[in-house]
Amino acid sequence: MIKYAIRKLILAIPLVLGVVTLIFFLVELSPGSVADKYFTPDTSPEVREMIVAKYRLDDPAYVRYLFMMRNLVFLDFGVSMATEQPVFDLVVQALPNTIILSLVTLLVAFPTGVVLGIIQGVTHGSPTDTSISVSSLAFYSMPGFWFALMLQLFVSYQFGGWLLEQVAAGNIPQFFEMFALPTSGMYNVVEYDYMGPWDQFKDRVSHLILPGCAMGVASAAGTARYMRSSLLEVIRQDYIRTARAKGLRERVVILKHALRNALLPIVTLVGLSLPYLFSGGVLTEMVFAWPGMGRLIITAIYTQDTPLIIACFFIFALLVVIGNLIADLSYALVDPRVKFD
């Protein structure tokens, strides 16, 4: 398995380099320049020359490309052209926040989707199956940013505001105040430093719930449909009929014999969802003002910050490779028939 993983990683190097190359030249071909925001009619020629020399803007594109590729070998992403901070530091600040949000999304999406898919597969053709299918399709079809805005409006603003009013009026205990979820940010910027460790933890969790649900519900709906189709295919196999003919209980047949094989497509889905969680949550992070990789790459694109754009897409390409590798290696854990040479 180790040799297989190393071989896959080596073969993925051209893919990552190809993605970085494509992004670099697309940015180069885009209109405008980051230097334009420094230049005004009053900018002196000396300042212009200094800015051009600092960012190597007078070099041909292929020279800057070769310089960038040389630095990538040492994971040196350079300096942000917009903030003049090391790109590596900006990525290190944003990446953990996105990882936290992605883990919460996974905890919401896949357990929920698998359970719903099992219920649909077992109750195939029943009103329960139909209602879950319609609901899943509805949530899966919703634009992510719109669903995030609806959560802010109805869950946080209206329901949360009503709870706070009831607590202030003394109609309900103060305990229910914790269910008034915040609309944005990672924590309460005013009171966080004055909280105890437990209150800080609760504050962080409360800020995670809405963005995690906004990203996780759509993923759970898609996972449920995949799980339903996979389970329906498996339970029609001969070995499932044999297990039932032996008199095994239906729960044992489904959970012990059918579920393990039906999970194979879901394992692939989990691996391939990793890059989506980091890049597909861009709009969700913008709606909830979550300081992660999504906001970072939007800022980089708006400012035409080439080093930061390259760093973000380099990480996304690595995540695609790692996600595929995790999916491949997980097959052996789910299905013992899968062997790696």
Predicted confidence band at 36 (pLDDT cuts at 50, 70, 90)?
low
**Residue 45 reports pLDDT greater than 80:** no
* Segment 4-20, tens digit of pLDDT: 777 777 878 888 888 88
pLDDT of residue 287: 87
Angle subtended by helix axes 87-122 and 127-141, to nearest 10 = 160
d(CA 68, CA 84): 17
**Residue 24 reports pLDDT greater than 70:** yes
Q: Using CA atoms in the order 51, 56, 61, 62, what is the torsion angle rounded to 10 degrees?
A: 180
Contacts (Cβ under 8 Å, ≥6 apart) of 51: 35, 38, 39, 57
pLDDT of residue 290: 86
Task: Read off the pTM.
Answer: 0.79
Contacts (Cβ under 8 Å, ≥6 apart) of 227: 113, 114, 116, 117, 118, 120, 121, 262, 265, 266
* Segment 223-279, tens digit of pLDDT: 888 888 888 888 888 888 888 888 888 888 888 888 878 887 787 777 777 766 766
* Segment 142-190, tens digit of pLDDT: 888 888 889 888 888 888 888 888 888 888 887 777 788 888 888 888 8
CA-nearest of 79, 89, 84 to 37 is 84
Show the domains of the chain with their CATH numbers. 2-31+77-146+181-334 (1.10.3720.10)
pLDDT of residue 260: 78
pLDDT of residue 33: 60
Predicted confidence band at 325 (pLDDT cuts at 50, 70, 90)?
confident
Tokens 């600040």 belong to: 93
Other CB atoms within 10 Å distance of the CB of residue 171? 9
**Residue 140 reports pLDDT greater than 80:** yes
Other CB atoms within 10 Å distance of the CB of residue 199? 13
Which residue did the predictor score with more confidence, 50 or 288? Answer: 288
* Segment 263-299, tens digit of pLDDT: 877 877 777 777 667 665 778 888 888 888 888 888 8
Segment 66-80 shows an average pLDDT of 83
pLDDT of residue 235: 86
d(CA 238, CA 202): 50
Segment 203-220 shows an average pLDDT of 87
**Residue 338 reports pLDDT greater than 80:** no
pLDDT of residue 32: 62
How much of the chain is in helix, strand and coil states, percent to nearest 5? 75, 0, 25
| Average pLDDT of the chain, as a whole number | 81
Burial class (CB in 10 A: 0-12, 13-18, 19+), 115: middle
